[in-house]
Amino acid sequence: MFRVKSARQIIGFTVALMLIATGVMLTTGMLVPVFVQTERMQFMFGITVILFGLFRFVSAYFAVKREQKWIEDDSWKNQPTDSSSGNSSPPL
């Protein structure tokens, strides 16, 4: 699927998987926080943590894709050097 190329990727995916696992444990009742007073609140909290874990996973995955696209972008090589434009920022 993809290759791990940096510690940032490992940390991002690990945190995402830990959040998803914690959310599943909260939802199933294996882990019950002290402040949760009802089963419905526990279920909603677990679902929220699962969704946040999925968000973290997707954002870490697309951060890797964005980084690869920026590194592999060669569109600047064939452009003439025009100092009058004033745009010296790299392409996004």
- Say what the pLDDT of residue 61 is: 86
d(CA 11, CA 4): 10
CB 57 within 8 A of CB 80: no
Q: What is the pLDDT of residue 92?
A: 58
Tens-digit pLDDT profile for residues 30-73: 888 777 788 898 899 999 999 999 999 999 888 877 776 666 66
Indicate whether this model's pTM tops 0.85.
no
Residue type, 47: I
Q: Which of 52, 62, 42, 66 is nearest to 17 (CA)?
A: 52
**For the chain, domain boundaries:** 7-72
Q: What type of residue is 74?
A: D
Mean pLDDT of 68-82: 63
